[in-house]
Chains A and B, each alone.
Chain A
Amino acid sequence: MKLFKNINFEKLKSGLTKTRQKLVNSITEVVSGKAKIDDATLEEIEEILISSDIGVETSMKIIEKAKEMLRSEKDRSKINIVELIKKELSEVLSKYDDEISESEKIEKFKPYVILIIGVNGAGKTTTIGKLAYNYKQAGLNVVIGSADTFRAAANEQLEIWADRAGVTLVQKEHGADPSSVAYDTVNIAKKNNADIVLIDTAGRLHTKNNLMEELRKINKVLNKVLDYAPNEVYLVLDGNTGQNAIIQAKEFSKYADLTGLIITKLDGTAKGGVIFQVCTEQKVPVKYIGVGEGIDNLQTFDSKSYVEALFEI
């Protein structure tokens, strides 16, 4: 079984066009015509990395490593410098890639339960709609649980997405206990012999203790109904977010064991470079990126092609 057949590199690349052009143009400007790396060049590279939200610390580490590697290189040309940085960047991202493929896991666990969490406005509900569509397209039976019982019209929004994707939706009235929605969803999924359960949650800022506790409860309830659930806990990060994403991930991981990241809104000029540090600290891979509002605008994330796309001229 092959999931996400519709994925192609072209789409990922086009989603990252602006990002790529900007980075590449800058990098090219920086390194063209220079035989060796000097302080000014390094500073310019630092600017490019930091301006991509990669963060000071991570940027410095990457530059240091590239510098080290460059010392033993004979070829100190432009191409080689870019190659070294690219290599370093993609190693950071691929370090925590899953060893077992998702399709294998989905075959093993039925239903396969995915919990989607994140701060307000990150794009959780839209992502769920897209995920449901992708799984459905792959021939799987999907049930969505609407555990955002707080935000006005969250139910209605998810209804429309479930309808577009053509999947089952479980919901309760506004203000209902979110964990009871999660409970019902998994039970209905079991009864319907569903393959995939997607649980949407309300946006919550990681500083709100009571809401974070609620998340723990949802997680616990899922685990009660199915002792292996949730299979995945995906943290949705807005691609526009800066260094705060690091704290978000740290806080959310205290309440639910993160298994992956989804980066949204990467079709603008934001680069989402903070993922380098989030992945390193949380030891999780990036699973998907959102590159538009269309239902098919969710792409599986591949660290190599991501970095490749960033630097491709």
Chain B
Amino acid sequence: MLEDLTLKLEKALKKVTGQGRLTENNISDTLREIRLVLLDADVNYKITKQFIEDVKIKALGQEVLTSVTPGQLITKIIYDELTKLMGGQRSELNLNASGPTVILHVGLQGSGKTTFSAKLAKYLKDKKRNVLLTACDIYRPAAVEQLRLLGKQIDVPVFSIDGSNDAVKIAEESLKYAKENGLNTVIIDTAGRLHVDEVLMDEVSAIKEKVKPTETLFVVDSMTGQDAVNSAKAFHDRVNFDGIVLTKLDGDSRGGCALSIKAVVSKPIKFISLGEKLDSIEIFHPERLASRILGKGDIVSLVEKAQEQFDEKEADDLEKRLMQNKFDFEDFLKQIKMLKKMGSMKSLLAMVPGLNKQIKNTDIDDKQLVKVESIIQSMTETERSNPKLLNGSRRKRIAKGSGNSIQEVNRLIKQFGEMQKMMKMFSGKSGKRIPNLKNLNFN
């Protein structure tokens, strides 16, 4: 998701990172590049302009503290602005605890409403809601049939009135049906419509008027271009939607329209939809998206997560060892144990700044960690602290003791060597790039 945008921004920021001072000159270079990045990512022209101006004012108005580098400073300003633009905090779906919850989906043709309706139905059903899907798309050929088939796949009832050409009535009737059948959540799928189609816009606002939804969600294709601001604004003016759903984010690297829409209508993005499988739905995290866009990894989450799990003193010790380049197998084992407490390897590594793009195509199987653990545990303490001791016969013994093949032991030791090299770069302040993680394959 959004890798492309992230990579481009990273490239633009690199020009500033590492420069001694933040001058008007090198800011303007970076800002010009960021402007191009944002426009290429389909962020609206006017929004981009505003964004660049905001960043510029903030950057120039601020003193460059000695404790931060200019690159860090401008990164932080851009990150803050991006987060602000996308809503600051994440926002969840409102569900009525008592009484029925009605969710209305609106949007342009082909934005993915029907598929998303089924996904949300499954999502809510898994949360123990009793869900009804209502098929109000009476225009597109076989749209009702499509929803009916999807409903069948997830075992959720679908309400429709055969031969009816009154979408408002179908919506109304479905609420009655839900009540009679003890269903507390109704998701209404409407026809795709152009925001300039007065007749159909009247229809959708009539539906909204009648069913008084708990949530009205505007479903938008994440590949949408500059016009996203116009359609979103028009829908917002007519139905005053509560939230945005970004679809097809699995296909593509850009999502600039999310920034634009967010800026124009000031409504939160509530879900992202990532594929054709009916469980590929995720809650949207604006602050995470902002960090990802910046290629700075999900630093905030990483720090939070780590703070919960790490013993601080242990972390201090580790840091010292890292700085002295004394990282050995014993430390590695401790790390693995801590990591296991924190979540999957890949999700953790993805949060580390700069690593995101490198692990994109790297498969890291968490089960391999168990294997790694067993190999290290079969080493003696001396071996763990001094891996150079590990000659052929020792390796053979370790393989036997841990129930792994000699090749697996060899591979781990080789990988550990790579890792030590990496650590060296982290600790040395040379600021070198981290070596390609593809060589560090845990499989």
Instruction: Give every chain A residue within 8 A of B146 (Cβ-Cβ).
Output: 151-154, 156-157
Does B85 sit within 8 A of A, measured CB to CB?
no
Partner of B227, one of A47, A154, A245, A271: A271
Partner of B194, one of A153, A245, A268: A268
Does B226 sit within 8 A of A, measured CB to CB?
yes
Does A206 sit within 8 A of B, measured CB to CB?
yes
Q: How far is it, in angstroms, between the C-alpha of A269 and the C-alpha of B194 when the chains are bound?
A: 9
Instruction: Give every chain A residue within 8 A of B109 (Cβ-Cβ).
Output: 121, 123, 265, 293
Q: Are B226 and A206 in contact (CB under 8 A)?
A: no
Does B315 sit within 8 A of A, measured CB to CB?
no
Q: Are B110 and A238 in contact (CB under 8 A)?
A: yes
Instruction: Give every chain B residue within 8 A of A50 (Cβ-Cβ).
Output: 39, 45, 226
Does A267 sit within 8 A of B, measured CB to CB?
yes
Q: Are A157 and B108 in contact (CB under 8 A)?
A: no
Stretch at the interface among B74-82, B248-256, B418-426: B248-256
Q: Are B250 and A157 in contact (CB under 8 A)?
A: no
Stretch at the interface among A52-60, A135-143, A185-193, A253-261: A52-60
Partner of B250, one of A47, A160, A207, A267: A207
Q: How far is it, in angstroms, between the C-alpha of A96 and the C-alpha of B41 when the chains are bound?
A: 27
> A106-144, CB under 8 A of B: which get 1 and which 0?
000000000000011111000001000000000000000
Instruction: Give every chain B residue within 8 A of A243 (Cβ-Cβ).
Output: 40-42, 225, 254
Report the minimum CB–CB distance from A266 to chain B (whole Å): 10
Instruction: Give every chain A residue within 8 A of B149 (Cβ-Cβ).
Output: 152-153
Partner of A242, one of B148, B196, B257: B257
Does A208 sit within 8 A of B, measured CB to CB?
yes
Give B230-260 interface residues, CB cut-off 8 Å to A: 230-231, 248, 250-254, 256-257
Q: Are B141 and A53 in contact (CB under 8 A)?
A: no
Report the minimum CB–CB distance from B364 to chain A (whole Å): 20
Q: How far is it, in angstroms, between the C-alpha of A119 and the C-alpha of B223 when the chains are bound?
A: 10
Partner of B111, one of A121, A152, A244: A121
**Complex: chain A residue closest to B195, CB-CB:** A268
Size bracket of the B interface:
35 or more
Across chains A and B, the number of contacting residue pairs, with CB separation under 8 Å, is 138
Does B140 sit within 8 A of A, measured CB to CB?
yes
Q: Tell me whether A269 and B250 are in contact in the complex, defined as CB-CB below 8 angstroms, given that A151-B146, A157-B140, A157-B142 are known contacts.
A: no
Partner of B226, one of A129, A152, A242: A242
Q: Are A244 and B42 in contact (CB under 8 A)?
A: yes
Q: How far is it, in angstroms, between the C-alpha of A214 and the C-alpha of B131 when the chains are bound?
A: 35
Does A77 sit within 8 A of B, measured CB to CB?
no
Does A18 sit within 8 A of B, measured CB to CB?
yes
Q: Tell me whether A153 and B225 are in contact in the complex, defined as CB-CB below 8 angstroms, given that A238-B110, A269-B195 are known contacts.
A: no
Instruction: Give every chain A residue within 8 A of B44 (Cβ-Cβ).
Output: 51
Does A270 sit within 8 A of B, measured CB to CB?
yes
Size bracket of the A interface:
35 or more
Does B64 sit within 8 A of A, measured CB to CB?
no
Instruction: Give every chain A residue within 8 A of B215 (Cβ-Cβ).
Output: none
Q: Are A267 and B194 in contact (CB under 8 A)?
A: yes
Q: How far is it, in angstroms, between the C-alpha of A244 and the C-alpha of B40 when the chains are bound?
A: 9
Q: Are A270 and B227 in contact (CB under 8 A)?
A: yes
**Complex: chain B residue closest to A174, CB-CB:** B149
Q: How far is it, in angstroms, between the C-alpha of A143 and the C-alpha of B162 when the chains are bound?
A: 29
> A219-255, CB under 8 A of B: which get 1 and which 0?
0000000000000000000101111110100000000
Instruction: Give every chain B residue within 8 A of A267 (Cβ-Cβ).
Output: 194, 196
Q: Tell me whether A207 and B225 are in contact in the complex, defined as CB-CB below 8 angstroms, given that A120-B110, A161-B141 are known contacts.
A: no
Report the minimum CB–CB distance from B51 to chain A (whole Å): 15
Instruction: Give every chain B residue within 8 A of A242 (Cβ-Cβ).
Output: 42, 223-226, 228, 254, 256-257
Report the minimum CB–CB distance from A148 to chain B (whole Å): 12
Instruction: Give every chain A residue within 8 A of B406 (Cβ-Cβ).
Output: none
Report the minimum CB–CB distance from B253 to chain A (whole Å): 8
Q: Are A269 and B40 in contact (CB under 8 A)?
A: no
Report the minimum CB–CB distance from B114 to chain A (whole Å): 8
Instruction: Give every chain B residue within 8 A of A52 (Cβ-Cβ).
Output: 226
Q: Are B145 and A156 in contact (CB under 8 A)?
A: yes
Does A274 sit within 8 A of B, measured CB to CB?
yes
> B33-61, CB under 8 A of A: which get 1 and which 0?
00010011110111000000000000000
Partner of A241, one of B148, B150, B223: B223
Q: How far is it, in angstroms, between the C-alpha of A47 and the C-alpha of B48 when the chains are bound?
A: 11
Q: Are A47 and B252 in contact (CB under 8 A)?
A: no
**Complex: chain A residue closest to B108, CB-CB:** A240
Q: How far is it, in angstroms, between the C-alpha of A242 and the C-alpha of B45 when the chains are bound?
A: 12
Does B287 sit within 8 A of A, measured CB to CB?
no
Q: How far is it, in angstroms, between the C-alpha of A56 and the C-alpha of B43 when the chains are bound?
A: 12
Q: Are B227 and A268 in contact (CB under 8 A)?
A: yes
Report the minimum CB–CB distance from B52 to chain A (whole Å): 13
Instruction: Give every chain B residue within 8 A of A123 (Cβ-Cβ).
Output: 109-110
Q: Are A53 and B140 in contact (CB under 8 A)?
A: no
Q: Are B252 and A205 in contact (CB under 8 A)?
A: yes
Instruction: Give every chain A residue within 8 A of B254 (Cβ-Cβ).
Output: 242-244
Q: How far is it, in angstroms, between the C-alpha of A240 and the C-alpha of B111 when the chains are bound?
A: 10
Q: Tell me whether A207 and B196 are in contact in the complex, defined as CB-CB below 8 angstroms, given that A121-B109, A160-B141 are known contacts.
A: no
Q: Are B227 and A269 in contact (CB under 8 A)?
A: yes
Q: Are A269 and B230 in contact (CB under 8 A)?
A: yes
Which 6 residue pairs across A and B have the least CB separation, nearest first?
A: A242-B225, A121-B110, A205-B251, A242-B42, A153-B146, A160-B141
Question: 9 interchain pairs (CB within 8 A)?
Answer: A53-B42, A121-B111, A157-B143, A205-B250, A244-B223, A268-B108, A270-B226, A270-B231, A274-B225
| Contacts A244-B225, A268-B195 supplied; 15 other A-B pairs, CB < 8 Å | A51-B45, A53-B225, A53-B226, A119-B223, A120-B276, A123-B110, A153-B142, A157-B143, A206-B251, A240-B225, A242-B226, A247-B252, A265-B108, A268-B194, A269-B231
A residues whose Cβ falls under 8 Å from a Cβ of B? 18, 47, 50-53, 55-56, 119-123, 129, 150-154, 156-157, 159-161, 205-208, 238, 240-245, 247, 265, 267-271, 274, 293
